[in-house]
Chains A and B, each alone.
Chain A
């Protein structure tokens, strides 16, 4: 029984690692500090731009910095926030990021 539980935990991780090969995010997939995403986010609610502190409170992320997971992880966080706790806020989010020092890219919420 104990052994089976341990094997299940290890197998779940292997499944998660394999799954990560087919998706851009890296949740539970053992990719520690393998990414460096320079980013800056801007958030507007009812036409008013949120301050850095307000953005921090909203997502529990810095409004600007370097994120050491894939940008998709950050997108997942912001999207989930806007789809759940903040779905009535109708926030407009612009995330400008440079994955591993590459050319700047952008993600926007609401997504088209």
Chain B
């Protein structure tokens, strides 16, 4: 099956194609989404000319504009190259070098989120098949661990004084201050401080182990969402970049994913065609269960009631199957990132709401709603689009009646 996938992989200049790239999934997805951040947020434009560099020798380039321009052009062209699948690893190295050199070139330019971007791209550029994704993973864990450690060892974080002071100019939600006023003095700032420290340690340590990785990812996403909801800030590019980098911890399917559906249903057939249109990597193989050679131990009765997705020994059905189809489709992440990066108006703080919607939709909390909606559609699917042609002959009971 893996060989079959490789044969269909051909180098493409389509930004939404990933096959044939020098980086495997999901690292290429990480690289492309980060490249979108660089282009969409014009981060390449901010790369500095030398000014008060961290490394004195870079002061030799002061007054020579070509270094700053070189960095900007390198980041811009590198990002475009990553999107177009052109020498992806080299392009990642170029982007990473530009951001890291930019950081060393000017103390004013230094921001943790920019350095993070530089480190991740540099490590993506150093990818080798035998090393796999662990260097990018260590980078993410290192940032969280160091940030949590720094807070833990800071007295003003432990006492909550930092959060109390910071909240007055950073948090723009009156609800926070109403709750703080209703609670004992310093209770809420101290709680928020310790919660942040706990969450950051939780992410750093949770990402280390396969079993706790999903929980750690959720904690990280909730931390990012919480900070954004409270402050309406994206902390440079951290709000986008860190969740994108969680994708480096995802076990992407190495072989085709089988989708078993009811071939005796025009609506299902139409759904298949719709979903297949957006499956640019041709990862999903749709098969009417009536014609399938292998039903993976699923009964015909179950398959008649629900759609099933089978990938590397795991089975998902109904709403869960649709959710996995979305999660295993790279386009989903481009759509989410675009929605989150759209400029937001001063009065309508839509970014937090968009993030809440996405998190809620993919969270276990939404499963009952999703399953109910799925069941409703599944029960009435023969009535919806009843004129559609079916892939297989109608089942025997209907032919008997005829």
Contact = CB atoms under 8 A, between A and B. Distances in A.
* Chain B associates with chain A: yes
Interface of A: 2-3, 5-7, 9-10, 13-14, 17, 20-21, 26-36, 38, 59-61, 66, 73, 76-77, 80-81, 84-85, 98-102
B112 A102 contact: no
B139 A34 contact: no
Contacts of B111: 32
Interface stretch (B66-74, B158-166, B350-358, B369-377): B158-166
B59 A84 contact: yes
A34 B150 contact: yes
Q: Which one of A31, A32, A80 has the greatest number of beta carbons of chain B within 10 Å?
A: A32
Nearest to A2: B126
A69 to B, nearest CB: 8
B101 interface: no
B146 A81 contact: no
A2 B128 CA distance: 7
Contact of B126 (A5, A21, A26, A100): A5
Nearest to B113: A32
Contacts of B108: 59-61, 77
B235 A33 contact: yes
Given A13-B119, A99-B156, A100-B161, A60 B51 contact: yes
A2 B103 CA distance: 22
B189 to A, nearest CB: 10
A10 B127 CA distance: 14
B146 A31 contact: yes
Interface in B71-130: 103, 107-108, 110-113, 115, 119, 122-123, 126-128, 130
Contacts of B135: 3, 6-7, 10
A17 to B, nearest CB: 5
Given A17-B149, A36-B166, A98-B165, 4 more contacts: A6-B123, A38-B165, A100-B165, A101-B162
